[in-house]
Structure 1
Amino acid sequence: MAALDPKLISGNANKNLSEAIARRMSMHRGLQIGLVDARVERFNDGEIFVEVYENVRGEDMFIIQPTSKPANDNLMELLVMADALRRSSAARITAVIPYFGYARQDRRTKARTPITAKLVANMIASGGIERVLTMDLHAAQIQGFFDVPVDNLYASPIFALDILHQFGGDMEDVMVVSPDVGGVARARELATRIGAPLSIVDKRREKAGEVSGMTVIGDVTGKKCIIVDDICDTAGTLCKAAEVLMEAGAVEVHSYITHGVMSGPAVERVTNSVMKSLVITDTIEATEAVQKCPNIRVVPTAPMFAQSILNVWHGTSVSSLFDTASLVPIYESLYPNGMWGR
């Protein structure tokens, strides 16, 4: 028999998102749902310690913890929290991992290299976690690395609502752009949602992190280009792609990226780039520099995660949230005059 309410517990990686999810769930349930009282801290030598102050016996527990920077610390927090809950007789433990770190190490690119995404998946499953809820895995096949069910949410429905709201009166000039061949499926899905054409920036790399050349496939002349990708790390490739698109005749370039890793010089590059705006989600907690950047905007994922957690708890469909008709009601308070109803 299901508990009265799902129970949420948060690590330190993104407390703001965890609290936002709890607030949204409280609105949906009509009851006050808060984060389970616990302490997740480090000893002087860096060891992680977790103590849960509330009874969780027989409860359906959801740990909210992206494994973003510092990836190793946040991953270890997740595993230690899961162990604490398992030893406290929680009925089921679901890991809500908005950003799944190590996802870019999903295959062997050369001899004698690891597949770390699979290793991390093994660690999560062996830690007592029975289900994973995440968003925009870098590669879809990572779901198969887990020996437990994985629900992979997509940011594209949220992005589609935002784009239709921002460009609603002038969609005929909008073109969706994939920054590489590998991201075509993601870009095509968004393009289909908003009824826009698709273009591709073909990039060639000499080595990781360095792009030797870019070519635009498709006519972007006079278009408002929207680059779509899952991760923005140092923003070097993204800013270079924006320059190439402008040189090819685009009138504006905007970017919609799910996970704003924003390492090193990323914020400075975006600030000085030809991009008119960069839209990211809050799967990774925005730094102060990101928050202050005038051409970076953050869209919330809490409404989708809150409803997804409730659907998992109820045993109902999570994929139903990918439909605009299902998503609009939980986002309409953010876009009261949205254009998607045209």
Structure 2
Amino acid sequence: MSDSRTSEFIERIPVGPLALMPLDSIMPLGQRVDEYLSKWRGQRESEHKETIAFNGYQKDSYIVKSKVSRFGSGEAKANILETVRGVDLYLMVDVMNYSQTYSLFGQINHMSPDDHYADLKRVIAATTGKAKRINVIMPFMYESRQHKRTGRESLDCAIMLQELHEMGVENFITFDAHDPRVMNAIPRDSFDNISCSYQFIKAILNSIDDLDIDKDHMMIISPDEGGMGRAIYYANVLGIDMGMFYKRRDYAQVVNGRNPIVAHEFLGTDVEGKDVFIIDDMISSGESLIDTAKELKERKAKRVFACCTFGLFTSGFNKFDQAYANGTLNGVYTTDLIYQQPELLTKPWYRSVDMSKYIALLIDSLNHDMSISPILDTSTRINQKVAAYREHRAGVNKQMELSFD
């Protein structure tokens, strides 16, 4: 964190005492965010920190405990176990955490996105309007794939945002939304769609030590037309080419709620001999991603990596194990913003991208009512990281040349 940014934190009065409330679905990530906040604030020295405006500014933990209890019928209620009167409250929820269960008429029921969203509303209702400001951090936006209407169908994502607005939520924060234009449902509220581009590039450069980042050796690929904007940003900031596939579908059939893909058609320059990175917002079953990787390998790509914000892996890991074993896919990067199966973390092809520090920085800035634009604009930091990587690579190559001499 820069010195100017640190001094701004010290001089700006917080909106209210900071309170962090991660629901059980996202508690491990919430605890890591809490550790960063406690560490940073404990290190700040200011002549104002003893004033009433900074009361409770430095604490060992900012987590406010809550509890959602369930009856045998599956009905539930939320309790907040500490006061939230006058606080700047940050609720965190992972609607994709299917590992949590509850008893439903004696049967074990895994929690669905609907259950997690209902729990979020219960906790907000339990604040009974006492918090000074309510902010929601929902990394995977609930019903984000049901964001537009193409017939007589529901608009679940827009309804969710409007419900939270009616409950008093002022700031809504999500990551790599499937279509951020859904923010039009709440035009008067703050809606921040956060990109994970810097964290991905940092993780890639830290884990792969032999990349040549130029147009001749590396390329960015969008697996469909919906992810073009994301891929264009990566390609531009890295100074390399991009390509895309579009999915030709059979609209005469519906299989598992969608029209099956007939073929993947490629648009772009030659990928032969290049390291290729497929950029997308999520991995669902992974079928489309692996098909894209196969197409790239058939076009003689050197290595194929996938970088997707959310790894759902709804059909398990077997396809990915096979793709890695036969050389179709060389690695998969996803964030820790949603639940990760313990088995996933043991896979040789998998790399987890930590987002806790970034979330802590966002919360810290918003609590001080500071602009988060400098945090969201990551191009400068990416350029610095890439320049340092290239310099290190050049030094290693020079050493190797000298050793052979």
Fold agreement, TM-score > 0.5: yes
Q: 1:326 to 1:47 in 2, by over 3 A?
A: farther
- TM-superposed CA distance for 1:253, in Å, is 0.4
Q: 1:124 to 1:98 in 2, by over 3 A?
A: same
Counterpart AA for 1:127:
M
Residue equivalent to 2:297: 246
Q: Unaligned regions of 5+ residues in structure 2, if any? A: 1-12, 43-57, 99-111, 393-405
Residue equivalent to 1:62: 90
For 1:341 and 1:158, how far apart are their aligned partners in 2?
20
Q: Unaligned regions of 5+ residues in structure 1, if any? A: none
- TM-superposed CA distance for 1:133, in Å, is 1.2
Q: What is the TM-score normalised by the length of structure 1?
A: 0.90
- Are 1:137 and 2:177 matched, yes or no? yes
Q: What is the TM-score normalised by the length of structure 2?
A: 0.77
For 1:36 and 1:340, how far apart are their aligned partners in 2?
44
Residue equivalent to 1:97: 138
The 5-angstrom pairing of residues 10-29 of structure 1 reads: 10-29=22-41
- TM-superposed CA distance for 1:169, in Å, is 4.6
Counterpart AA for 1:148:
D
Kept in 2, the 8 Å contact 1:161–1:340? The answer is no
Kept in 2, the 8 Å contact 1:98–1:134? The answer is yes
Residue equivalent to 2:194: 153
- Percent of pairs with identical residues: 25
- TM-superposed CA distance for 1:340, in Å, is 7.6
Counterpart AA for 1:178:
S
- Pairing partner for 2:375 from 302, 321, 337: 321
- Are 1:9 and 2:37 matched, yes or no? no
The total of aligned residue pairs comes to 333
- 1:9-68 per-residue CA deviation (whole Å, 9 max, x = no partner) reads 111222111111111212221242331122223222222222111111101100011222
- TM-superposed CA distance for 1:205, in Å, is 2.2
Counterpart AA for 1:301:
M
Residue equivalent to 1:191: 235
Residue equivalent to 1:80: 122
- 1:159-199 per-residue CA deviation (whole Å, 9 max, x = no partner) reads 12223333565223111100011211011111222222111
- TM-superposed CA distance for 1:105, in Å, is 0.6
Residue equivalent to 1:294: 348
Q: 1:209 to 1:75 in 2, by over 3 A?
A: farther
Residue equivalent to 1:179: 223
2:24 aligned counterpart, secondary structure: coil
- Are 1:203 and 2:244 matched, yes or no? no
Q: What is the RMSD of the two structures over their aligned residues, measured on CA atoms?
A: 2.3
Kept in 2, the 8 Å contact 1:12–1:74? The answer is no
Residue equivalent to 2:104: none
Kept in 1, the 8 Å contact 2:17–2:86? The answer is no
- 1:290-314 per-residue CA deviation (whole Å, 9 max, x = no partner) reads 2222211111111111100111111
For 2:379 and 2:39, how far apart are their aligned partners in 1?
19
Counterpart AA for 2:262:
S
Q: 1:196 to 1:48 in 2, by over 3 A?
A: farther
Q: Which has the larger displacement, 159-168 or 269-278? A: 159-168
- TM-superposed CA distance for 1:257, in Å, is 0.2
- TM-superposed CA distance for 1:221, in Å, is 0.8
Residue equivalent to 2:62: 34
Q: Which has the larger displacement, 233-242 or 4-13? A: 4-13
